[in-house]
Amino acid sequence: MKVPFYVPFIDEEEVNEVISAIKSNWLSKGPKSVEFENQFSKSVESPYAVALNSCTAGLHLSQLALGIGPGDEVITTPYTFAATANTILHCGAKPIFIDIEPATLNINAKLIEQAITPRTKAIIPVHFAGFPCDMDPILEIAQQRKLVVIEDAAHAVYTKYKNRPIGSIGDITCFSFYATKNLTTGEGGMITTRNEETANRVRVMSQHGMSRNAWNRYSGRGSWYYEVEEAGFKYNMTDLQAAMGLVQLKKLERMQKLRMQHARRYTELLSGCEELILPIETPENRHAWHLYPIRLDIKRLRITRDEMVERLSQAGIGCSVHFIPVPYHPVYQKLGYDLADYPETTKVYEAIFSLPLYPGLTGEQVQYVAQSVLSIIRDERI
Ligand SMILES: *Cc1c(COP(=O)(O)O)cnc(C)c1O
């Protein structure tokens, strides 16, 4: 049996909507993007949303819009995709990595306070795999110390923290619609915020710093006039992407049910195995199940994580590793980050890998993956 690591959940409806967007002649950011922004912001219970070409663009513009610049420090997790930290560097600021909490693999909120200096301006929590960070203590510290909170919600399109949707909590939340994410537009992103001024700033900065976007320029008054307020970026979404996003958003509930079913089935099948640590769910939060990462108790096994991933690949199963911790990358090493400062992250990284998890998996595939993992462990127990 073959089980690829990821297969997107796309059918004729996305194809037809993208074709109709092309035929409408509006190819760049226009009415479809506005509709996508409106529907997305409703779905996460946030009044403002701005559609962008990636989550990375969202993280970059969020920090610029909230005034982060050279000399500032931004607190985040080392256990994330490089984009989270790269965008801090893009602003000329310095990433301060706080080690993770092993149970959830999210930033350890208890360690934030001691890392705050007079230069600290923001906290960027990442909801790893779709499980929410513990936001209450993070918001409390941010309020006391006058910091802004920008959430990296690349994995958290459907996540809820204590009944509040991710997207309605921090100062700005950044979502990703990259090809492998829970809701995809191929490439794409969205920021949501409760602050109208912040939303406008991000919108203007996403289109060259022009005071009116292309949609307004050519509609309504039919005016050719615009002004460039600051040297902005070209970070907007296109209507082709938004057409696909609208269909994906309509399907989100169904896609999430399937993800949850498969994740719970993995947990059921793997939970008896003492050499494994499985991802957790809690009753007060809603997990988006972007990933199903499992950890090996490597002291009890004759094989390493790398060998495990290779054996599964030989059995036709695609696995991946989320993430190579940011301070491991050469660019961060050269900046002087020391791996020894993040012991929990280091321990997790040696032992973790992600199983295939997407809506289109069949029950037989889930069972085959779980049985393959268990049978390798059975053979390699010490
Ligand atoms: C995918 C991802 C991003 C980047 O998203 P893009 O839309 O590809 O820019 C940022 N942070 C995390 C945690 C991610 O997984």
Q: Say what the alpha-carbon torsion angle 376, 358, 346, 76 is, to the nearest 10 degrees.
A: -170
DSSP β-ladder status, 120-124 and 160-161: unpaired
- Per-residue tens of pLDDT for the chain, all 382 residues: 999 999 999 999 999 999 999 999 999 999 999 999 999 999 999 999 999 999 999 999 999 999 999 999 999 999 999 999 999 999 999 999 999 999 999 999 999 999 999 999 999 999 999 999 999 999 999 999 999 999 999 999 999 999 999 999 999 999 999 999 999 999 999 999 999 999 999 999 999 999 865 455 555 555 678 889 899 999 999 999 999 999 999 999 999 999 999 999 999 999 999 999 999 999 999 999 999 999 999 999 999 999 999 999 999 999 999 999 999 999 999 999 998 999 999 999 999 999 999 999 999 999 999 999 999 999 999 9
Cα 284 from Cα 163, distance rounded (Å): 7
Distance of CA 326 from the midpoint of ligand 1 (Å): 13
Distance of CA 268 from the midpoint of ligand 1 (Å): 29
The tokens 């280091």 sit on which residue? 346
Residue 337, C-beta contacts closer than 8 angstroms, at least 6 positions apart:
97, 326, 327
- Going by CA atoms, what residue is nearest to atom 2 of ligand 1? 154
Cα 132 from Cα 349, distance rounded (Å): 20
Cα 80 from Cα 328, distance rounded (Å): 11
Distance of CA 224 from the midpoint of ligand 1 (Å): 35
Nearest to 207 by CA among 12, 2, 29: 29
pTM, two decimals, is: 0.96
Residue 194 burial (CB count, 10 A): 16
What ligand 1 atom has the least distance to the C-alpha of 83? 10
- Region of 218 please: left (phi>0), alpha (psi -120 to 50) or beta: alpha
pLDDT of residue 160: 98
DSSP letter (8 states) at residue 219? S
pLDDT of residue 217: 55
Q: Choose the residue to mutate in 87, 100, 124, 178 for probing ligand 1, maximizing ligand atoms within 8 Å of C-beta.
A: 178
pLDDT of residue 195: 98
What ligand 1 atom has the least distance to the C-alpha of 176? 7
pLDDT of residue 294: 98
Residue 247 burial (CB count, 10 A): 20
Told to judge if 181 belongs to the known catalytic residues of this protein, a careful annotator would answer yes
pLDDT of residue 87: 98
Within 6 Å (CB) of ligand 1, which residues are found?
54-56, 80-81, 83-84, 126, 152, 154-155, 176, 178, 189
Distance of CA 257 from the midpoint of ligand 1 (Å): 23
Q: Which of 181, 251, 299, 347 is catalytic?
A: 181
Nearest to 191 by CA among 145, 237, 232, 225: 237
Q: Choose the residue to mutate in 131, 176, 187 for probing ligand 1, maximizing ligand atoms within 8 Å of C-beta.
A: 176
Q: Choose the residue to mutate in 55, 172, 357 for probing ligand 1, maximizing ligand atoms within 8 Å of C-beta.
A: 55
Distance of CA 226 from the midpoint of ligand 1 (Å): 32
Alpha helices, H only, 214-342: 214-218, 239-270, 305-314, 330-334
What ligand 1 atom has the least distance to the C-alpha of 290? 15
The tokens 């002291």 sit on which residue? 299
Nearest to 37 by CA among 161, 215, 171: 215
Residue 273 burial (CB count, 10 A): 18
Distance of CA 154 from the midpoint of ligand 1 (Å): 5
- Going by CA atoms, what residue is nearest to atom 1 of ligand 1? 154
